[in-house]
Structures are given as C-alpha cells and as structure tokens.
Structure 1
Amino acid sequence: MLTEQFIASISAQTKANTGVTKDAGIFVHEFQPLAAQRHVFKKSASAQNGLAVSSSHVFAAQDGKAVVHVYSRDKGNQEAVIPFPERIRSIALAAKDSVLLLGTESGRVLAWEMCSGRLVSTSTSHLQPVTALAVDPTSSFFLSGSPDAMIHVWALPAILSFSPDTSRSPVHTLSTHRGPISSIVCGHSATSANIAISTSEDKSAIVWDYQNGQLLRTYLLPELPQALTLDPADRAFFLAYGDGSLQTVDFYDDMQKTASTDTLRDAASSHRPIQPSPKTRFNAESQKLGAALSLSLSWDGQTLISGHATGKIAVWDTAKGNYVSTVTNLPGPVTNLEFLEPIGFPAASEPTFKMQTVVKPKQDSGVSSGNALVPPNYTLTMQLNGQLRRPAISATEAVTKRSAFEEALVHPSFPQAMLDASLAELATWNAPSTSGAGIAPAADFLSLEDTAGTGDMQGMSNTNEVQELKKQLASLQRVQKLTFKQLSELREEKEYLLSEERKRSQSAQSKAKAKNNLADGSTSDVEMSNNTSGESESSDDDSSSDGESEAAPSE
C-alpha cells in the first residue's frame, strides 16, 4: 500500500497544546492512507530553510545558534549535537544525501561529508548571511542566496576536490534581484536545460538557466513571497504570501501551450516582466490560517500543503485552486514543511548505501597537503546495501566491458593478469634496493619480526596479539603456497593436454596425407593401362593395313 508522509518543524512553542509532547519541535505526520501523527523529535527550534531530511536522518539547524541537531529516523531519537564556529542560517542535502551544505552567518557555505567527517568551506562571496540553499538533481551545482540580493552558483565537485589548486569561488553570480533573497528551488531535470527559481522581497520571482547564468523570465508579484515550491514536472510554481493566500504561476498559459517552441526560453521576452493573473490566487479567509510560512507539494503534484504562523497545516487542491482541510494544529509557527519519499511502490529501488551513524565534522586536512591525493586519514563509514550491479548478458548485444576490480569481484577465481601482477609485486617486496650505495635491503612489510632500523614493533606492547598475527600470517602463507602449487599443476596439465592435442592433430594430418597419396597412385595405374591397350590396338590396325596393300598387286 502506498504510504505518504510529511515532516514539519516549528521555530518555537508559542501556545499550549495538550496533544503534543513537551519540547517537541519536529513532527512526522502521515498524510495517506490514514492521516495521523506518527513521530516527534524533541529539543529543536529551526528557522526557515533550516531543516533537511534523508532516508536515515533528520538535520535541524537551531534558530539563532551555531548548532545542528542530528536525529536518527530508524532509532527515533537524537543522535548528535554538532557545534560550528558560527551560526547556521540554512542547510540542504546533496550527493545522494551524503553531503550536508550549511549556509553561515559570515556569508560562506560549508560542505560536510557525513560519511567521513570532512568539512570544506567555500570562499566568503556573500556580504550577508546565506539564508537560502538549493541543490540540483545531479549534485553538480548548488545555489546560495542572501539578503545582499545576490545568488551564487557553485560547482560542488570543485568544492569537494582534494586538490589545493581547485577554485572554491562561484561559477556564476545572478544579481538581477533588488531585495533580500527569500527562497530558491531547482528543477527536477538532470540535463543541462534545468532551471532554478528565486523569490525576493522586491516582490519578484525570476526563472534562471543557472548553468549558463542566464535570466529566462521575470514575474512581478502582488505581495512579498514567504515560501516557494515547484511542480514535479517543472510546469508551474506555487507561492505563499503573508496574508495566508497562495498563488499558482504557470509557465505555459493557454496561448503558449499551443506554440511549437519553448516560450520559456524565448530570448525576445526574457527581459519583459510578466504579472500573473489575480485569478490564479486563492485563499481560505474563513479558516483564519494566518501568514503562510512554508509550502510543499505531493509527489504527483495534485496536493499542496502549507504551514502557517498559527501552527495550522492546510491542504489545498492544486487543480481546483481551493482549500480542502486542515490536517493538524502545531504549537508554534510552521517554518519548514516537506513531503517525504512515498513508501510502498512495488519496484522501488533501494539506496546503494546507508549511513548508520554520521561522523562529526573536522576541518579538512587534504586541502593544505600540497597535492591532489586523498589524505592518509580520510576514512569512509557507511553500509553497502544489496548486491553489486551486474550487467545483463545478451547473445545479440555486446557486453559492456567491466573494470579489473569488478571482474575480480564477480569472477569465480582471480583473473590470470591480476595474479601475475600480484606475483610480480610479491617478488619486489624482498628485492634489494638499488637507489644508492650503502642502502640496506628493502624490508618486507608483511614481516612482523622486529628488525633494527625499522622500529615497526617498538610501539606494540601486546605480545599475544603479535603471536596471533604471526600465526595468521603463517596460515596465509601456507594457503598461498598451496594455491601457487595448484596453479603450477594446472599449468602443467594444460601444457600436457595441449601437447597431446597437437600430437593427435599431427597424426590425423599424416593419415589424411597418406590416404591422398594412395588415391593419386591408383589413378596413375589406371591411366597407364589405358595407354597400353590403346597402343596394342593401333599396332593391329597397322598390320592389317599392310596385308591389304600387299595383296593388291598380285591381282
């Protein structure tokens, strides 16, 4: 059965509510098939754009603090409290939920790899705090917005690069707005034609081709927009206003839907502002919902939910543009609202990895190492799910070539080329060094004996552990010798079978040649007998003709 849930957070508890657990700040609510509250997380008060949810964890940036709370969705409790050097104003997940982006008070963005604990910082490009973050579906780019009216486009692979020469500056800067940036969303396309939408307190919404840094369309709004969300098919976007009303802005109206070209990318109308029709705005004045602070759209785009300053969460029908119901009433302003991934699809794909626990961030040490290699203390902590992906085997289509690592993993035995390379590497371990005169032979790094000059075992105090390791090494060496012996026997058997096959082939060829020679000899004998009989017949004919010639004169 299809199950759909949404998660909501409040900035602070402003009213008593006996139906809500004390100090609860994050609420998981089931939307269908049965509308009911499923779980709450305590001790959290997050501002707008301060909540991020993955399949395993919930991250909440605390309002006015330099702290991020981490909650485990599987265990249902608070897992960690992560302090940072400065206040966090916005957060967003990227790279299949393995990287958390954090917008800071000083105007820079931090990238936290939660599987390794690596923390990387961008350059300080914003003049004011980063209050909005949006990541594109491929995680190749992300956008940051600030009250300085600037939007920066960043390349995430460059930010996470280990090379010290890689630039951590914005790729593009979008500076058309004239007021503080309130919200940014990215489209759902994984192509280079994807779009992004930003809203500002200058009462405008702009559609961007963010990968090229181009403005596509400008919309003039009737009020200050408080929240923004985008249609799953990128056909329209929805806005929330301070008076509690909502508005639908369709990219393709009735006239544009009949056009053969994409009017959204028409360069002639890119600098022509458009004012949406008042008919696309809808409200529920009788419900006294209060100012709308957050929006989220269901996976099919048919249902819109809005969080309000009164704590109410309202449900709207996007097709009809009217109010449906109020699903819950929380004890504080609903600052963040997000539909979770639906559960219950029959062929839903599972994630390739899962984070059981997040690794607390530490300042990146690979940037200052002077090279582009992975630093020695870089360690990933994750759990792989399921089996490795294996390509389909077809008798009519060419099989995609796999790497040596994949070949070794799925093959019944190690490939011969890898074994030869490993044997060659083993042979060099104990080879004497030729780098200079007077240099001692290279030490075998598999040896656990304490040798002079190396000092590898000086720090080990547990003798029993050393003896156990020696036994394991001896066992591995015996297995290695046995494996090499079996390989040698298999090679000898292969050579013997090949030689026997060659002998059998040569014998068959000799017999065939002799048979051909016999056939040629019998053919020549027949020809000789035919020639002899022909000569005898010709001699008889000659004698008879001579007799006739002699009898003629006697007459």
Structure 2
Amino acid sequence: MLSEHFVASISIPNKKPDTSSVTKDAGIFVYEHQPLLAQRHAFKKSAAAANCVAVSRSHIFAAQVDKAVVHVYNRDKGNQEATVPFPEKISSLALAFDDTMLCLGTDGGRVILWEICTGRLINGPQAHLQPVTSVAVDPSSHFLLSASADSNIHVWSLPNLSSFLAGPNPSPVHTLSNHRGAITALAIGHSSSAANTVVSASKDNTAIVWDYKKNALLATYLLGDTPLALALDPADRGFFATYEDGSLQYIDFYAQADNEPTLGATDSLRNPETSYTPITPPSSSRRPSDLGLGLGAGLSITLSWDGTVVLTGHSSGKVVKWSASGGSSSHGMATLPGPVTNLSFTAPSGFSSDSEEEKFKIHAIVKPRLDLRGKISEGEVVSPAPQNYTLSAQLVGNLSIPRVSAFESPRKGQKSAFEEALTHVSFPPDFLEQSLAELATFTNSASGVSTVAVSEPKPVSTEEDFMAIDSGASNGNQDLEQQNAELKKQVAALQSMQTAKSKQIADLKEEKKKWQASTNEAGGAANKDDDEEKRRRKERMTRALKGFGDD
C-alpha cells in the first residue's frame, strides 16, 4: 500500500503535552499523512533549531540548540543510535551524495563534511563572518550552498571540497552578495540541469532568485515582511514563504505585479532587462490562516511529493495543512509541545520498484574519526587516501549487470547507429568498412566500369546457417538469434568490401597487362629499326671495302 509520511521536530518545549498522544520528552515526531493521519514514531531527547534536521532513508540527524552535538536516530530500529560531538555548535544540516555525506554549518561560519559510511571528517575553512544559517545541496550533489547571517551566500564545488587532494583552504566558486540582511532560508530547485535555481530569503524583507551556477541574479521580490521559511514547488514555477504572523504566500514566477496589466503567463526570470528591477508580488498571493487560534510565526514549511499539500510549522506548536492550489482551506494537522522548527516530507513508500531502486542500505553510521586524513608526500607518488579508509554499507537487491556482446550494445539505454557514431571516439570500424565498400562501388559505376551487384544475403535455413539455432528454442535463445543477425550483417559488409577489392585488383591486373603489351610493342619496333640500321651500315662498309680492293 502506498503511504506518505512527514517528520516534524521542535525546539525547546514551551509547555507540557496536553494530549496523551504526545510522548513525554519527545522532540522528533514521524507522522503518517496518507492514507491515515496518525503518529507512527517519536524520538526523545532532542531540541533542534530551524534548518537543523536532515532526514535520510535510514536515519534522522538533529543538531541540538544547547549543545555542540548531533543526535543520530535510526528510523528502522526507532531509537537513538549515536550522539556525535563537534568542536562548535551546529547551526544547519543537509545531506549529499545519495544520503552518504552530511554537510554541517557551524556558529563560527565554517562548513564541515562528514561521510557517515566511513567516518571521514572534513573541516572546511571559516568562510563566513557570522553563523551559517542554512546549507543546501543541489540534486546532482555538485554544488553546496552555505548562507550566513553576514548576508552572503557561498557556492562551493562539493566534489572539490570533499576530495582527498583538496588544499587546506579551499575557496568558494561564487559568492552571492546582493542581500543587505541576514539570510533566513534557502530553497534550491529540483532540476539537475544547468538551468537550476535557488531562492534565498533575508531579513531585508526580500527574496532573490539566483542562477547559482553562473553567479547571476534572476529576480528580486519585495515581500514587505521577513520570510522565515521557503519551499519551491515540484515544478520550480514558484515558491512558498511563511511569515511572523503565520500567513503563507505563494510567489509565482509567471505572474505580474499589482501595478502591471496581466498579459498572460510571462516568465519574470531569464530576462536580463528586468533582472535588477524589484518585483512586488500581488497582495492576493498572501493567505492568512483560517484557524484564528494565534498560530504564531511560521518557522518551517514542506510540500508533499505531488505538490498538492503544503504543511507549515508554527511557534505555537501547531502543524497546519494548506492547499497548494489556493483558496481558504487551511486546518490543523497536529499539536506539538514546542515550536515546530523543522518539517520534511519523506519519499512515498510502497511502490513496486522501491526494492529495485534501492542499491545499498546504511544500517549504522560511523562516527567521525580524526585519523582518516590523507597524507601527500612531496616528491613521492602515494595514494592520498589513508590505508584504514573503509566503507560500511550493505548492498541490497540485485546488481544490474548488463549483458555483454561483442557486436551489440546492452538493451537498456541502447544507442541508435547515429548516436553510436556521434559519441564514438572516432568513426566505428564497421562504418568505415561499409563506407569504403560503397564508395568503391559508386566510383566504379561512375567511371563506366561494370560492377558486380552485391545484395544482402538471402536468409538461409536453420540447417545451412553456420551459427544454427534450434527451431524449437525457447525465448531464452533470442539473444543468440540477434547475435546471428548481427553476424550476417558483418558477413554481408565483408563480402561487399571483398568484392570491391577483388574488382580493384582485377582492374589493376588488366591495366598491368595493357602496359606490358604496349611496352613490348614499343620494344619490338625499336629492335626492328636497329636491325635495319645495322644492315645498311654493313652494306656501306662492304661497298667501301670492294672499292678499296679495286683500287
């Protein structure tokens, strides 16, 4: 059965639980959203600030507000697995590389990387002057964005930052610095293409859309109040923002401002003429809550997998459900004993392909180890990875091993002949052979030389085929049939090339015979002339001698 869950966390509790459904000392809650709204798990002894919870398929990581530690909870076992200390307080979390690396932002403005399968810890430079308020990783795990209270956003190359060959003080790729206040939230797009974007919210009451790969500002929105949390819709056509009064606003990239006429759907992004012109969203885009119960500030937000439901967490402890399509349809979902600082929908479970897509599973995390630091000796060719660098994970399911064939590409993702030639390092050999044979045939035809027509070999019977296939073979022998067909094509190409070459050899032999014949004729004529000249000279000498004798 398909099911959908969301994870909610609270900060320091501000009241005792008023319902029996809330577990005592619980700080992280797992709720089932579909098909039945109910609490499924609760993890104790946790108090996490905003942007300080990261959820993977197997674990929940929560940075604590009053300690320089991260609590790790095992989702399968339902208990706290580890308490990981750090040299300074952690202010933001994000997962990367298919949930195998945890990216941490600190109060000191530093970025730390922790490989949870190996225990390797990478201390990045202190790039920010104030605490890192939010970190985000793009879907391809190529870029890491760190936002700070110093109003700057650094864009890092995550592969370079995590490389064993990285220097002691790596530098960011770009710095996005158009804000004039502390950054409160980041929301990165869902695309892995070069056109992906990120939205940042700041205390200067603006939200800016960036092309973080090209360091380009795309649009600036004047919101009037400070956005506290952001979330992009699944199609990246707009973003949701929460505010101090508990309201929710949706900013549509294809909508016009209040002072401009609506002329249809117009993308306000990707227009260099208007990128630096501030945009004021329509007042109708901001929706107040219908509960009227004093929800308080909207501290967190998340969207369902299909983008139809928006959940917001408030300082009063309430989780509110909104309709993403608009309208006044908000209602309470749950009441927690503290400010709801983090909300996150998990991927739906119950699909038939879930077991096939999951290739590995992390049963237990490996705590950070300071001895896992590579050493590079000057003048020596050594591996930068330490000798005790090991991976702790379990491979699940079946490995996808493609069928290997000398003449055929794997079925999955098989390329056409054009794609194969386009992506080949050079011209494929079979293409060259066929092209040379066709060119030779065409050249001979154009010069008037008779050629032997080469046609595709007729299908032979199973008994005559040199790679015979049993007529009663099962479907498992289809691969042999396909290979047999490919071999026939190869033989046809070779026959065509051999015929063309034989014709060329025959033409050369004929030309040689003609040349030899002409040479012999010329030589015979020259010899005949020489004999005639000798005869004449002999006659002259005979007459001369006879005259000399008479005298």
TM-score over 0.5 for the pair: yes
Which structure 2 residue ranges, 5 or more long, are not aligned? 257-261, 413-551
Distance 1:329 1:258, change over 3 A: closer
In the aligned structure 2, how far is the partner of 1:118 from the partner of 1:167?
18
Where 1:279 maps in the other structure, the secondary structure is helix
Counterpart in the other structure of 1:357: 364
Q: Does 1:335 align with 2:341?
A: yes
| Correspondence list, 1:25-424, <5 A | 25-165=27-167, 168-253=170-255, 258=265, 263-285=268-290, 286-348=292-354, 349-363=356-370, 365-370=372-377, 373-391=384-402, 398-399=409-410
Q: Contact 2:119/2:372 (CA < 8 Å) preserved in 1?
A: no
Distance 1:393 1:321, change over 3 A: farther
Q: Where do 4+ consecutive residues of structure 1 move more than 4 Å?
A: 164-167, 254-259, 392-397
Root-mean-square deviation (CA, aligned residues, Å) is: 2.1
Q: Contact 1:57/1:73 (CA < 8 Å) preserved in 2?
A: yes
In the aligned structure 1, how far is the partner of 2:235 from the partner of 2:104?
28
In the aligned structure 1, how far is the partner of 2:159 from the partner of 2:264?
37
Distance 1:204 1:392, change over 3 A: farther
Alpha-carbon offset, residue 253 of structure 1: 2.1
Counterpart in the other structure of 1:417: none
Distance 1:132 1:372, change over 3 A: farther
Q: Contact 2:374/2:384 (CA < 8 Å) preserved in 1?
A: no
Q: Contact 2:160/2:166 (CA < 8 Å) preserved in 1?
A: no
- Give the fraction of aligned pairs with identical amino acids, expressed as a percent: 53
Alpha-carbon offset, residue 365 of structure 1: 4.0
Amino acid at match of 1:300: D
Where 1:233 maps in the other structure, the secondary structure is coil
**Cα displacement string for residues 467-515 of structure 1 (whole angstroms, at most 9, x for unaligned residues):** xxxxxxxxxxxxxxxxxxxxxxxxxxxxxxxxxxxxxxxxxxxxxxxxx
In the aligned structure 1, how far is the partner of 2:44 from the partner of 2:288?
32
Where 1:158 maps in the other structure, the secondary structure is helix
Q: Give the TM-score normalised by structure 2.
A: 0.70
Q: Contact 1:46/1:61 (CA < 8 Å) preserved in 2?
A: yes
Q: Give the TM-score normalised by structure 1.
A: 0.69
**Cα displacement string for residues 33-52 of structure 1 (whole angstroms, at most 9, x for unaligned residues):** 10111110000000000100
In the aligned structure 1, how far is the partner of 2:245 from the partner of 2:126?
35
In the aligned structure 1, how far is the partner of 2:326 from the partner of 2:182?
32
**Cα displacement string for residues 125-162 of structure 1 (whole angstroms, at most 9, x for unaligned residues):** 10011110010000000100111001000011011111
Q: Contact 2:113/2:123 (CA < 8 Å) preserved in 1?
A: yes
Deviates more, 1:48-57 or 1:163-172: 163-172
Distance 1:256 1:92, change over 3 A: farther
Q: Contact 1:66/1:86 (CA < 8 Å) preserved in 2?
A: yes
Distance 1:323 1:222, change over 3 A: farther
In the aligned structure 2, how far is the partner of 1:256 from the partner of 1:227?
30
Alpha-carbon offset, residue 13 of structure 1: 1.5
Q: Contact 2:375/2:386 (CA < 8 Å) preserved in 1?
A: no
| Correspondence list, 1:528-547, <5 A | none
Alpha-carbon offset, residue 180 of structure 1: 0.3
The number of equivalent residue pairs is 400
Distance 1:165 1:46, change over 3 A: closer
Alpha-carbon offset, residue 338 of structure 1: 0.6
Where 2:160 maps in the other structure, the secondary structure is helix
**Cα displacement string for residues 514-533 of structure 1 (whole angstroms, at most 9, x for unaligned residues):** xxxxxxxxxxxxxxxxxxxx
Distance 1:257 1:211, change over 3 A: farther
In the aligned structure 1, how far is the partner of 2:405 from the partner of 2:36?
46
**Cα displacement string for residues 139-196 of structure 1 (whole angstroms, at most 9, x for unaligned residues):** 0001001110010000110111111448622110000000000001110001111101
In the aligned structure 2, how far is the partner of 1:256 from the partner of 1:393?
56
Counterpart in the other structure of 2:506: none
Distance 1:211 1:364, change over 3 A: farther
In the aligned structure 2, how far is the partner of 1:317 from the partner of 1:166?
48
In the aligned structure 2, how far is the partner of 1:347 from the partner of 1:164?
38
In the aligned structure 1, how far is the partner of 2:118 from the partner of 2:388?
10
Counterpart in the other structure of 1:22: 24
Alpha-carbon offset, residue 109 of structure 1: 0.5
Distance 1:96 1:364, change over 3 A: farther
In the aligned structure 1, how far is the partner of 2:216 from the partner of 2:47?
37
Deviates more, 1:152-161 or 1:388-397: 388-397
In the aligned structure 1, how far is the partner of 2:281 from the partner of 2:133?
26
Alpha-carbon offset, residue 106 of structure 1: 1.2
| Correspondence list, 1:515-554, <5 A | none
In the aligned structure 2, how far is the partner of 1:189 from the partner of 1:311?
33
Q: Contact 1:120/1:363 (CA < 8 Å) preserved in 2?
A: no
In the aligned structure 2, how far is the partner of 1:94 from the partner of 1:328?
30
In the aligned structure 2, how far is the partner of 1:256 from the partner of 1:189?
28
Alpha-carbon offset, residue 400 of structure 1: 8.8
Structure with more helix by fraction = 1
